[in-house]
Amino acid sequence: MDQSLIKQYLLASFPQFEARLIETLIDNAFLKEFNEGDLLMNTGQNMRFTMLVVEGLVKLYREGEDGSEFFMYYIHPGGACALSMICSTKQQTSEIKASAVDKTTVLAVPTTLMDELMKNYKTWYYFVLETYRSRFEELLVVIDHISFKAMDERLEFYLEKQHHDLNTRALMLTHSQIANDLNSSREVISRLLKKMEQQKKVILHRSYIEYLK
Amino acid sequence: MDQSLIKQYLLASFPQFEARLIETLIDNAFLKEFNEGDLLMNTGQNMRFTMLVVEGLVKLYREGEDGSEFFMYYIHPGGACALSMICSTKQQTSEIKASAVDKTTVLAVPTTLMDELMKNYKTWYYFVLETYRSRFEELLVVIDHISFKAMDERLEFYLEKQHHDLNTRALMLTHSQIANDLNSSREVISRLLKKMEQQKKVILHRSYIEYLK
DNA sequence: CCAGAATGGTGACTTGAGTCACACTGGAGC
DNA sequence: GCTCCAGTGTGACTCAAGTCACCATTCTGG
């Protein structure tokens, strides 16, 4: 049944939540599934639910005016989208998108419930603040990289991150995909990858990259 | 007296705070003054106080490894540093600095008080969330600019922001300062400013720029 | 008033990275 | 087998922006 499934998910992914909070969430939230590639959140729409990721993987990226995109970070089970945690705000400026990388399950918590949760459950408000803080810091790291680092270093960091977040050395990525994520171009990425291969940091294959270091 | 001064400041800069919250703050927080150029917050130090700006102006910037800096945004009276709102976290990665632009007064609220404030005062937790949200969005805009825009556009945006935030057309900035804030070099900024002058968007003077558009 | 510092202007050069054009290759599907 | 196409490799070119060198102007402190 759905209720007990929610409980299982919460216990597994959000072990820090207090028992009463879990009960409240079971009574008020519902599960939602997304397939690979589905959009969880689109630009500027008013959020009526806070989404807690309980299974799968979500990719957050920024969309430029011309359609080019820019990878920011992944959200793993146990995380939530910071932006989805605010009850009904304008959000006109920020063009941000979230899409499922794998088959993903999220727990949708109505934003109308936020006041009560914040007030009554310490573990909830810790979670909200911690979510904001960590996303904030990730953005700072992103800013660091694009403003202070050159492409080769950014590429290495990107691959390291992929390796770490996806927990595999076999990175299923084409050069164009990487170029998109880093807002660069395929040729540039190809050349840099070639260099990295010579430095024995990766081995290149068709449609995937073996991460060594 | 200090107590009534705090009250005045709070009423002026944080009119949304409920009366009981203001009383609590009066009893537990204290004012702190900074002179122009003083550092309010340094890299990675554990924050023991949340700082609410009640007078003056605070500049937030990111420090690169080599000492170069990168302007992010201003905090006006009525605002607070999002990062200072988290009770004692690691914060090892983020090298972020806050310095006073003018003579600035802040209200220092002990972070040990956060739990109680969040729980008991709805206007407080709205404020905290709103602070996070708005800073987050500002960072997104920053990312947009450095990843999608060229220097000329970034410069125009920067000047527009200065004009808007400092509320004056007489921008007291040298070319080197601007270059620092944008993580560029003086010569580049000089040339671009020259172009903008030809386009009648600014008039250049020694040590200050008249913003026209 | 003078020396030195701060500020700004400019030409010449270098470089990282984006673009264009085109060639090669391995796999999927017929 | 063959075709087509996504994925990749590479040289040549362009351009924005950073760097270097040097000079001119204004300001400031003794």
Please tell me the distance from the alpha carbon of residue B137 to that of residue A54, in angstroms, as a whole number: 25
Question: DSSP of B73-119, one letter per residue?
Answer: EEE-TT-B-GGGGSSS----S--EEEEESSSEEEEEEEGGGHHHHHH
Report, as an integer, the average pLDDT of A24-42. Answer: 90
pLDDT score of B43: 60
Please tell me the distance from the alpha carbon of residue B39 to that of residue B101, in angstroms, as a whole number: 10
pLDDT score of A67: 74
Helix/strand/coil for A3? helix
pLDDT score of B89: 53
Please tell me the distance from the alpha carbon of residue B184 to that of residue B206, in angstroms, as a whole number: 20
Average pLDDT, whole number, for chain A?
89
Which residue did the predictor score with more confidence, B68 or A197? Answer: A197
Assign domain A2-146 one CATH number from 2.120.10.60, 2.60.120.10, 3.30.499.10, 1.10.1370.30. Answer: 2.60.120.10
Report, as an integer, the average pLDDT of A40-47. Answer: 68
pLDDT score of B83: 75
* pLDDT tens per residue across span B103-121: 999 999 998 898 899 889 9
pLDDT score of A121: 92
Which residue did the predictor score with more confidence, B185 or A119? Answer: B185
Confidence of residue B145 (pLDDT cuts 50, 70, 90): very high
Cα B191 to Cα A175, A193, B152, B197: the distances in Å are 36, 35, 10, 10
pLDDT score of B112: 87
* pLDDT tens per residue across span A196-212: 999 999 999 999 999 99
* pLDDT tens per residue across span A64-100: 777 788 999 999 999 998 777 764 455 455 578 889 9
Surface-to-core class of residue B88, CB atoms within 10 Å of its CB (0-12 exposed, 13-18 middle, 19+ buried) = exposed
Model confidence, pTM: 0.89
pLDDT score of B45: 61
Cβ count near A210 (within 10 Å): 14
Judge whether B70 is closer than 8 Å to chain A, CB to CB: yes
From B147, which residue of chain A is nearest by alpha-carbon distance? A146
Fold of B149-211: Arc Repressor Mutant, subunit A (1.10.10)
Instruction: Give the least confident one: A130-134, B84-88, B118-122, B203-207.
Output: B84-88
Q: Where do the domains of chain B lie?
A: 2-146, 149-211
Report, as an integer, the average pLDDT of A139-154. Answer: 93
Report, as an integer, the average pLDDT of A47-58. Answer: 90
Report, as an integer, the average pLDDT of A146-156. Answer: 95
Residues 36..65 of B with a Cβ closer than 8 Å to A: which? 62, 64-65
Of the candidates A70, A143, A148, which has its C-beta nearest B142's C-beta? Answer: A143
**Residue B62 to residue A94, Cβ atoms within 8 A:** no
Residue B171 — φ and ψ, nearest 5°?
-85, 115
Of the candidates B96, B122, B148, which has its C-beta nearest A140's C-beta? Answer: B96
Cα A121 to Cα A181, B115, B118, B132: the distances in Å are 37, 11, 10, 20
pLDDT score of B137: 85
pLDDT score of A21: 96
Per-residue exposure over A193-202, b if at least 16 CB sit within 10 Å of its own CB, e if not = beebeeeebb
- Name the percent of chain B lying above pLDDT 90: 63
pLDDT score of B82: 78
Helix/strand/coil for A65? coil
Report, as an integer, the average pLDDT of B63-82. Answer: 88
User: Which protein residue's Cα is closest to nucleotide D18 at C1'?
Assistant: B185
User: Which protein residue's Cα is closest to nucleotide D27 at C1'?
Assistant: B206
Contact A193, A202 (CB under 8 A): yes
